[in-house]
Structure 1
């Protein structure tokens, strides 16, 4: 018997097709029966033969059909190293073949027994046990939880420290699958010390170990800001950037993907990551033949250039636009990457509060991106691509009269393609199409007239969004009704404007930080639009609500609200309200200046007046100096609310001064001065 099994094993090793011959000859049920032999040597040799056969999917099906799984799991409890190692190999192949087989192994108690193999001192047992754990966890949340409950995490972390490249690689891959999309396991693995161990693996001399560590890092940090910060504190990006210089494409792919996983979902964190990468690395990513790497490059461009004139100009100086246009025209560019390319071109052209960068607009236009964008708008099958193209076209032309004249003279364009998208069944497409039209119509009577000549926009399209429970949808729709008030049918301009402004100001009181951010950004854009809108914003109490968020724990909330307040200071009523608040509580002014973005604007008259009054002395400070009761810095706010998305604090107080009605026209200064910072010249908008 032993010699026969030995011959079968030798034939399987030397002839790939021999496993099929054994299968056709009915050998699988015979081998399964031998697993039940009372002689351990026979069991070992039978598993040796099966180890070489289970890469064949038909063999796996036959094994399950003849009841091999419970027998293999039972053999794991014998604790014989040779049997343990071979049973782990067979179970791993079964689990890799089918999700049903994964579940069967778990239901029969196999997970805990496989995890127990990690206590072995033998490398073969450890390697095959770790591989089995990895395959059991692939796309199986139930098994991921089971491995964690069985105590697998500490063992895997310990294996990372073993002086064996193979074991370290397998442990990294197992941790990657164990944590992929599983929030509880991510936290458990991090608490067990995986961050330091993985960063150490990233510093390994062998490239294959580094790549596997990068894979584990990607899964562990994905959509988990706390763990991302842990890796950032240990300088993980520095070691991942080294992978981008390696010749092998798959190594560069994993390095780029892991690097962007650490960038997270926060714009500020993504911008910091993109700055750490630098223009040259980003350009290399865009020029890569890999679609995955190109995508990361596009996301880095978006993060770097969003609301940053310095980086927009810097990227254009480094000739970053031609690679983007090349990807725009490329027939092999994937849809996900194409969307990011189009978005990146748009981000290069606009800044804070829809201010424009004429240098970037000119560069994109001269690189002949417009004809390609128009072709995509007319002919691409994806509505998502079309609506993103419409928004980018509007960004390239926004506020640039010279380019607009050239565009209308040279290009065949009609708003009909965008208006058609307004009626899309997908409400996100419809809302984004409305945003594209808003960008075209923004501060442009000519574009508004052109849209109106096509029949305008039915007001009923926006009713669903304005009454939506989704606050983001509601904010976007409200903004669009204000900008497009002259082209929306079914209601007059004043009513639409008043309704939109009212909704936006009310949304500033939301307990969702994302809502406050987007609403403040939209209000900042409206604050330097047509006359009268700023008065309406102020009359609804926006100054008070925005001021209440200046000490939020969320940096993006503070920045967005500060930008909106900065633009409102050019309105005499908002100027007076905010000055009154700052005189009573000077720390509000300090918060305002501290959180004002480099490209944001604030009235120089406002800052000069406050600084002058600060030098003279405020009544609130004089009280304390002369023995009166001190004024508490916190008294400027009313009852506070906790922003439940990111832990931000917001507060809504009572309005201090009466503002004008919607119909009054506020004063606007054409030569708005940006915030002055040492070493910087004022940006021209």
Structure 2
């Protein structure tokens, strides 16, 4: 190379000319000596004129030097080339040359420009937190995004586009960037690139589509640009896990954010492709993405739930609940939740795969709140509206853990804990004593201050069930604990000040239950200046028919066997029979049953109808329901209403007996649903004090001694001594054998198969008192009732039907919640955020 004069910095004349942009001088120097185009400075960098021009951000000089033949791949002593220098100096304007607007742009130029921007926008990492590089705005404002979209659309080799795509991913967090991508036709370009022969290009394109699909508007645009078929093709044709992860995530986001579950799920080959990817898959990241996609695609979409389960996704999802990887484990749990939610058919299929037992093991094994929250929600979704299944799950979770849920920081656990305790507090065999001993009342009262209405409603109902059992038998200890926890004050405040009519009337009804048979609580309620029957009476005329119905139930609870309160209700405005007529004449069995009980209790203070006539009408409706209803829930409710009426005023039991109430209740003793046979047994126990009922019931039991075993199992105290004495006489003179096929009293769940040779404990294992005579170890964990006697789990009956004949789902859910305590509201599931191994 020709000698050249250098200054004190080690720069020659051509270096100074390149730095200052003296293009004419650069051309003259190169023309005079071509070797000067690669002349290096004699400083520590040893830069060529081309690198000097890049450093000075002079695009015209850079173009001149390249036209003169400068080597654009040259690097200095710090290993910095043109790309690195552009990144260090934020030389985005050089991109106008590197890729420009001309069609003959080279792949090298496009790739170099992309690398420049990628380096410039690399995310910052500090304290293990990654944040967007502040240079994103410089790139955005300098027109870098349209340039990269041009690269995506261009005809250069796909591999040369990779740096530009990585740059977009670096800055895509910003909505301004996303808007430029979609507005500049980027969606179509990236969908087209899903067909690339380069797996890296497919992966980056799918990742860009995934991030854009997190916005509803862009998810819909992706659907319009045929992104779904393109992504499905990727699932079918690519085997590399890293690529598949992005494609699966993109499909899930389109389904979730675009509300396109049906379209994605029914797209040709989508669900089979997802399930095929589960087979033999060991890549944890891909398995996680597949579980998340299943959750998103099945969310509130029954057809997708059914298709996924029918095609065989359940075994793959269930087995993943046993993995030690926390994120993967939780993603599987959430997938089970969404597959089972509000779908009885998928619930049964998932239960067949032993999902409940695995989830219960996970719940008991982990103390992490997030794991407990997700697992409990999935378990409750599997139970669905089947009260027996809810009870089984609540029993397995156990009272103490349910109460711990109430004391957690999770609102979802608050709800599940309250709902579980509500189920356990109900029925002929309940856990009210255990909940009381475990101090469950105080945390339930705290729930009344929740900002979530569904949690407040659940807490109100659970407290109600804890205060009063079947046949309106008060639980005095729980009533007093409610008062000591300031629960009465909270309930009155909610009744008066809540903006939700349902919360107001539910609070009034729970106050009625809390005061039933308890003069101290009744006095506390009436000492509160805010309480007045006028408020409850006004609810009888509310717009919401459920509120009107529950207002009648609240008044009936206050008036039950309490003449003083009946008089107080009458003096403060009273009730009219026409308030009950729409419910008594309703096609809905729940309305008829509830209002029939109300008119019998309130008959004395209904001025516009004869007491005998209103009582007779109510009793007739209840007995008719015992005879005609096909709903296990309605049969249980009707039997409970009969049991309440059986110990009210004189004449009511006679009326029940006169229209064959004993006959129909006796038939219910053979029900496979514990709530039905238990409440029927308790009702008959009260009726047994009536001489005619005693004779009828003795004849029934003599013909079928199994009925007596059912009565003794559930009627611990309330059964006539004369009836028991007569039964002892029948035993002495001989009884027929108990027929085969009778329902067991200590039930295991009906869907279980006893492949290990064990058999469920049957009625033959119990002696005449309802106690166990020879209990096997398999029944050792059955629970103890209030008297310490053996109790059993509910069976899974086949005859649980939805209440009422109306087609409005939310309406039916509201009714169901009044019986079971389940709120019709559903949970919103956040995405998994837990890291690390279990």
Give the match for residue 187 of structure 1: 306
Give the match for residue 652 of structure 1: none
Structure 1 gaps, min length 5 = 623-630, 635-645, 648-673
1:270 to 390, 400, 415: 390
Distance 2:707 2:511 in 1: 38
Asked whether 1:460 is paired with 2:578, we answer yes
1:86 to 204, 210, 213: 204
CA contact (8 A) 2:261 2:296 kept: no
CA contact (8 A) 2:360 2:397 kept: no
Give the match for residue 6 of structure 1: 115
1:422 to 510, 526, 540: 540
Q: Mean alpha-carbon deviation: is it higher for 436-445 or for 422-431?
A: 422-431
Shift of 1:154: 4.8
Give the match for residue 479 of structure 1: 597
Distance 1:294 1:244 in 2: 17
What secondary structure, in the 3-state scheme, does the structure 1 residue paired with 2:624 have? Answer: helix
Distance 1:372 1:549 in 2: 39
What secondary structure, in the 3-state scheme, does the structure 2 residue paired with 1:52 have? Answer: helix
2:219 to 102, 108, 114: 102
CA contact (8 A) 2:408 2:414 kept: yes
- Larger Rg, first or second structure (1 or 2): 2
Residues 143/232 of structure 1: CA separation in 2 closer, same or farther (3 Å cut): same
Distance 1:311 1:137 in 2: 43
Asked whether 1:380 is paired with 2:498, we answer yes
CA contact (8 A) 1:228 1:264 kept: no
- Give the TM-score of the pair, scaled to structure 2: 0.68
Distance 1:145 1:602 in 2: 60
Distance 2:305 2:715 in 1: 36
Give the match for residue 256 of structure 1: 376
Give the match for residue 691 of structure 2: 572
Aligned residues: 630
Shift of 1:575: 3.5
CA contact (8 A) 1:2 1:45 kept: yes
Structure 2 gaps, min length 5 = 1-109, 124-131, 742-749, 752-767, 774-783, 789-838
Distance 2:453 2:728 in 1: 52
Distance 2:503 2:325 in 1: 41
2:234 to 95, 100, 117: 117
Distance 1:140 1:525 in 2: 52
1:605-636: CA deviation from partner (whole Å, max 9, x where unpaired): 44554564365356xx69xxxxxxxx9999xx
Shift of 1:19: 4.4
2:154 to 12, 37, 40: 37
Map 1:23-422 → 2, pairs under 5 A: 23-39=140-156, 40-98=158-216, 100-119=217-236, 120-138=238-256, 142-144=260-262, 146-147=264-265, 149-157=267-275, 159-160=277-278, 162-223=281-342, 224=344, 225-227=347-349, 229-230=351-352, 232=354, 235-242=357-364, 244-246=366-368, 249-307=369-427, 311-328=431-448, 330=449, 333-405=451-523, 407-408=525-526, 413-422=531-540
Distance 1:372 1:479 in 2: 28
Shift of 1:362: 2.2
What secondary structure, in the 3-state scheme, does the structure 2 residue paired with 1:13 have? Answer: coil
Q: Mean alpha-carbon deviation: is it higher for 521-530 or for 473-482?
A: 521-530
CA contact (8 A) 2:427 2:675 kept: no
Asked whether 1:616 is paired with 2:738, we answer no
- Give the TM-score of the pair, scaled to structure 1: 0.82
Shift of 1:442: 1.0
CA contact (8 A) 2:447 2:459 kept: yes
Give the match for residue 677 of structure 1: 771
Residues 553/325 of structure 1: CA separation in 2 closer, same or farther (3 Å cut): closer
1:504 to 604, 613, 622: 622
RMSD between aligned residues = 3.5
Distance 1:167 1:307 in 2: 46
CA contact (8 A) 1:598 1:675 kept: no
1:414-453: CA deviation from partner (whole Å, max 9, x where unpaired): 2122122222211111211211111111111111111011
